[in-house]
């Protein structure tokens, strides 16, 4: 996760963005609903085309799951789910240091090109992101879930927005809960969305401080399992600006699978990021983590609805649909 300022700022942001959250869940309106594209492109199945494109990438690279789930999060938490993260140019969201490790752009672009061959300018890039994230989550093992479509594409993209609005990797759990609540996401949604760290990796720079100088103590984070910390020290040596990565889920054999392994490992003190580890320790979230760890079906069933709710943030139902490409240069 990325950087923010303080608990006060987190709460303020939550309240500020309350007005951006969609107030419906399911069949919202004629212009934004499940199945919005049915019949809008003849007999072409819009959602099936997106799924096919994602599956092609998934078969070649299992990182596709983490890439697309993360892409939806980074888009929706900045100006809402409007595909503003895809826009290119100076000082756009994509250029923010919080988004430099975000990937999956080429998948969305390929899906857009494929769709516009059949019905140019009909399917928004914002909808493609949400549909692609669902496809990736399902291919990774999560249960299938419905999503609303009918979003329009935003035309404002600022690096400063991404820098301000994306939560930092060390955000205290109470602040994170308040921030997510401001987007219409409850504590359970927050836990299950963070549980998407069951796939993906993080660079050494994102957790090296926990190994060697946690909160300027000159010591390792005491909440981290000592054996786990020792193994990470080999991956990320002290005083070395390493480009190495480590899996966010330390369950061997399921690093690319949407399962409950992440919850099991953080209960063992094997959370890679500070916010991940605190998820298992804070009274606000510990019980949810424990239930998800002991019942493998909970996360698979709940992560989809949480992703669906996240897809309601800041939806534009009036405006434009980008034509031919999602990476229009501003």
Domain boundaries, the chain: 17-168, 173-306
Asked if residue 300 lies in contact with residue 141, where contact means CB atoms within 8 angstroms, the answer is yes
The 8-class DSSP code of residue 257 comes to S
220 token code pair: 């390792």
- DSSP helix/strand/coil, 270: coil
Residue 322: C-alpha distances to residues 126, 164, 307, 326, 327 (Å): 10, 26, 24, 6, 9
Partnered with residue 149 across adjacent β-strands are 33
Q: For residue 15, how many other CB atoms are within 10 A of its CB? A: 12
Asked if residue 98 lies in contact with residue 166, where contact means CB atoms within 8 angstroms, the answer is yes
In the chain, what is the greatest distance between 2 CA atoms, to the nearest angstrom?
64
**63/82 Cα distance (integer angstroms):** 23
Do the annotations mark residue 93 as ligand-binding?
yes
CATH of 17-168 given 1.10.520.10, 3.10.180.10, 3.30.450.40, 3.40.50.12160: 1.10.520.10
Sort strands 40-43 and 33-34 into parallel, antiparallel or unpaired.
unpaired
Q: Give DSSP secondary structure letters for 199-267.
A: S-EEEGGGTHHHHH-GGGSSS--TTS-HHHHHHHHHHS-TT-----EEESS--TT-TTS-SSHHHHHHH
Residue 184: C-alpha distances to residues 24, 50, 155, 166, 173 (Å): 10, 27, 24, 16, 16
pLDDT tens, residue order, the chain (330 aa): 433 343 333 333 333 333 344 445 544 668 899 999 999 999 999 999 999 999 999 999 999 999 999 999 999 999 999 999 999 999 999 999 999 999 999 999 999 999 999 999 999 999 999 999 999 999 999 999 999 999 999 999 999 999 999 998 899 999 999 999 999 999 999 999 999 999 999 999 999 999 999 999 999 999 999 999 999 999 999 988 888 999 999 999 999 999 999 999 999 999 999 999 999 999 999 999 999 999 999 999 999 999 999 999 999 999 999 999 999 876
pLDDT of residue 330: 62
H/E stretch holding 302: helix 296-310
Q: 173-306: which CATH topology?
A: Peroxidase; domain 2 (1.10.420)
Do the annotations mark residue 259 as ligand-binding?
yes
The 8-class DSSP code of residue 258 comes to -
pLDDT of residue 25: 54
pTM of the model: 0.90
Do the annotations mark residue 160 as ligand-binding?
no
Do the annotations mark residue 167 as ligand-binding?
yes
Q: Give the position of tokens 């000159």.
A: 218
Catalytic-role residue among 52, 74, 138, 203: 74
pLDDT of residue 115: 97
Asked if residue 96 lies in contact with residue 162, where contact means CB atoms within 8 angstroms, the answer is yes
CA 70 to chain centre: 3
**66/81 Cα distance (integer angstroms):** 18
pLDDT of residue 30: 83
- DSSP helix/strand/coil, 320: strand
Clarify whether 203 is annotated catalytic.
no
Q: Give the position of tokens 């979003």.
A: 151
Asked if residue 315 lies in contact with residue 151, where contact means CB atoms within 8 angstroms, the answer is yes
Asked if residue 11 lies in contact with residue 178, where contact means CB atoms within 8 angstroms, the answer is yes
Do the annotations mark residue 197 as ligand-binding?
yes
E-state strands within 160-231:
201-203
pLDDT of residue 82: 97
């Amino acid at each position: 996760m990325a950087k923010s300022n303080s608990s006060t700022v987190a709460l303020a942001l939550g309240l500020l963005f309350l007005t951006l959250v969609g107030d419906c869940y399911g069949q919202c309106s004629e212009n934004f609903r499940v199945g919005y594209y049915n019949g809008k492109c003849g007999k072409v199945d819009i959602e099936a085309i997106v799924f096919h494109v994602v599956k092609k990438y998934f078969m070649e690279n299992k990182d596709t799951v983490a890439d697309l789930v993360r892409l939806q999060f980074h888009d929706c938490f900045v100006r809402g789910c409007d595909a503003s993260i895809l826009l290119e140019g100076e000082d756009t969201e994509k250029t923010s240091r919080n988004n430099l490790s975000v990937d999956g752009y080429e998948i969305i672009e390929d899906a857009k090109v494929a769709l516009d061959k059949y019905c140019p300018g009909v399917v928004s890039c914002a909808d493609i992101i949400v549909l692609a994230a669902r496809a990736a989550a399902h291919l990774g093992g999560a249960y299938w879930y419905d999503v609303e479509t009918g979003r329009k594409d935003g035309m404002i993209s600022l690096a400063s927005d991404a820098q301000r609005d994306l939560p930092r990797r060390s955000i205290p759990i109470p602040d994170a809960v308040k921030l997510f609540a401001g987007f219409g996401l409850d504590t359970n949604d927050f836990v299950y969305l963070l549980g998407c760290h069951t796939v993906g990796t993080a660079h050494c720079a994102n957790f090296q401080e926990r190994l060697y100088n946690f909160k300027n103590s000159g010591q390792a984070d005491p909440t981290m399992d000592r054996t786990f910390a020792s193994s990470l020290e080999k991956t990320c040596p002290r005083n070395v600006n390493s480009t190495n990565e480590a899996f966010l889920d330390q369950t061997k054999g399921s690093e690319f699978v949407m399962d409950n392994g992440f919850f099991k490992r953080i209960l063992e003190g094997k959370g890679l990021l500070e916010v991940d580890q605190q998820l298992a320790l804070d009274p606000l979230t510990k019980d949810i983590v424990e239930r998800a760890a002991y019942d493998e079906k909970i996360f698979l069933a709940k992560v989809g609805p949480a992703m669906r709710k996240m897809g309601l943030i800041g939806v534009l139902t009036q405006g434009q649909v980008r034509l031919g490409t999602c990476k229009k240069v501003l």
